[in-house]
Chains A and B, each alone.
Chain A
Amino acid sequence: GEDVEQSLFLSVREGDSSVINCTYTDSSSTYLYWYKQEPGAGLQLLTYIFSNMDMKQDQRLTVLLNKKDKHLSLRIADTQTGDSAIYFCAPDMRFGAGTRLTVKP
């Protein structure tokens, strides 16, 4: 959707951290989701953050929310080849175009 923007591609080396950024326009967004789509598969929920939080950590995943700037990011620590996929930002289930993460060995 045009009101949720993400970079289309990101390439990192195995073991590095990946940061996927997302900007959105609807300041009333309450639940901000990150979905992962592996090749040939449907979307799976990775994590989400409520709008009253500014950070959420879940194992290798860290979500940062800047409500003032309407900016959401997903950091994946120690990125592995199995993390290669398309990642969708979805504030209140309005989807961005997705960022294709490629992890090189």
Chain B
Amino acid sequence: NAGVTQTPKFRVLKTGQSMTLLCAQDMNHEYMYWYRQDPGMGLRLIHYSVGEGTTAKGEVPDGYNVSRLKKQNFLLGLESAAPSQTSVYFCASSYESSSYEQYFGPGTRLTVT
């Protein structure tokens, strides 16, 4: 099992460009999450999904969109990147509710210039 994988690992964008981060899990988990990690702020939840075809907003959803067309994939989109979105992005998944143990991907480091 690969667990949770994320692509790409690194990306540099110019302000206003768009991109999609892909997360994939092979554990048949229902729940998937996107977090961003900034220095001194821990992890903040951007969006999450409780099953295929569903998405919900987390703590910091503005400027991001998500889609969960297939159970194993969770996509995070930035329509018009801003320097404030420079961060490390982590995807995670869990079998049941968000209170249960989450398995994390290795992260995507995004820089917006």
A residues engaging B (CB < 8 A)?
1, 4, 8, 30-31, 33, 35, 40-45, 48, 88, 92-93, 95-98
- A42-B90, A92-B99 known; A1+B104 contact, CB < 8 A: no
Residue among B40, B59, B90, B101 making CB contact with A45, cutoff 8 Å = B101
B107 surroundings in chain A (CB, below 8 A): 40-42
**Which residue of chain B has the shortest Cβ distance to A97 in the bound complex?**
B42
B44 within 8 A of A: yes
Docked complex Cα distance between A33 and B100 (Å): 9
Docked complex Cα distance between A43 and B33 (Å): 13
- A42-B107, A43-B90 known; A95+B43 contact, CB < 8 A: yes
A30–B99 contact, CB under 8 A? yes
Residue among B40, B90, B102, B105 making CB contact with A93, cutoff 8 Å = B102
B43–A42 contact, CB under 8 A? no
Residue among B40, B59, B101, B105 making CB contact with A42, cutoff 8 Å = B105
- A42-B106, A45-B101, A48-B101 known; A1+B44 contact, CB < 8 A: yes
- A95-B43, A96-B42, A97-B40 known; A33+B101 contact, CB < 8 A: yes
